[in-house]
């Protein structure tokens, strides 16, 4: 990422809305904004999401692994406005068992990029499926989008829900329904 280009862009943006950079409050804003984007909002570009998902051997006859309410923040590619919510991640191990903190790291590595929620959901489940090779995987995201709550229709409190599945949970509707019920109960 090129923070100096980001700073210049923020400066032009602020000039475009009529700011004159008079006073200490605004003078350092372009640098602060660029740093916030590089270090936080789009830090996922510096990560390989699949590498975040380390694992060990799964015990025999291991049941489903479910992690609910993993908080995340992302930025909508359409308006560059944030959306925040929770991810519910489930997989049925075959031979590989992820460390529990690794599921949160995987969600963050994908979320800290410009995206839309549907793509984010699919990318997380695809990483789970690719790296862990589970029997089945399912990801459900619930998020509030500021592009819908602060602009446009301004419907505060509305939440957008997406899900994506892989393996047995994609192919078997009954198995998928069972895991979806566990994720949302």
pLDDT per residue over 60-104, tens digit each?
A: 989 999 999 999 999 999 999 999 999 999 999 999 999 989 999
Predicted pLDDT of residue 66: 96
Predicted pLDDT of residue 155: 85
Predicted pLDDT of residue 126: 98
Predicted pLDDT of residue 181: 94
**Torsion of the alpha carbons at 25, 29, 35 and 41, rounded to the nearest 10:** 100
- DSSP for 92-156, please give it: E-SSEEE-HHHHHHHHHHHHSSEE-HHHHHHHHHHHHHHHH--SEEEEEEEEEEHHHHTSTT--T
Q: pTM score, two decimals?
A: 0.94
Q: What are phi and psi of 166, to 5 degrees?
A: -145, 160
Band of residue 154 on the pLDDT scale cut at 50, 70, 90: confident
Q: Is the dihedral of CA 66, 165, 53, 96 positive or negative?
A: positive
Domain boundaries, the chain: 3-41, 48-184
Contact at 8 Å (CB) between 78 and 117? no
DSSP 40: I
Tens digit of each residue's pLDDT (9 = 90 or more) over 17-59: 999 887 768 889 999 999 999 999 999 999 999 999 999 999 9
The region, left, alpha or beta by phi > 0 then psi within -120 to 50, assigned to residue 69 is left
Band of residue 169 on the pLDDT scale cut at 50, 70, 90: very high
Predicted pLDDT of residue 79: 95
Tens digit of each residue's pLDDT (9 = 90 or more) over 106-130: 999 999 999 999 999 999 999 999 9
Band of residue 153 on the pLDDT scale cut at 50, 70, 90: confident
Encoded tokens for 60:
């025999």
Predicted pLDDT of residue 25: 83
Encoded tokens for 54:
């380390």
Domain 48-184 has CATH 3.10.580.10: no
Strand partners, 140: 88, 163
């Amino acid at each position: 990422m090129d923070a100096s280009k980001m700073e210049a862009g923020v400066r032009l943006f602020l000039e475009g809305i009529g700011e004159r950079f008079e006073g200490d409050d605004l003078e350092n804003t372009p640098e602060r904004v660029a740093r916030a984007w590089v270090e936080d909002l789009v830090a996922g570009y510096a990560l390989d999401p699949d590498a975040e998902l380390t694992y060990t051997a799964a015990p025999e006859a291991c049941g489903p692994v479910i992690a609910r309410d993993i908080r995340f923040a992302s930025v909508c590619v359409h308006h560059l406005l944030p959306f925040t919510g929770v991810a519910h991640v489930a997989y049925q191990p075959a031979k590989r068992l992820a460390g529990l903190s690794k599921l949160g790291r995987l969600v963050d590595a994908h979320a800290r990029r410009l995206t839309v929620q549907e793509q984010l959901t699919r990318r997380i489940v695809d990483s789970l499926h690719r790296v862990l090779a589970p029997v089945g995987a399912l990801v459900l995201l619930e998020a509030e989008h500021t592009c819908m709550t602060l602009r446009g229709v301004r419907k505060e409190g509305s939440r957008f829900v997406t899900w994506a599945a892989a393996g047995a949970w994609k192919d078997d509707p009954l198995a998928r329904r069972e895991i979806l019920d566990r994720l949302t109960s």
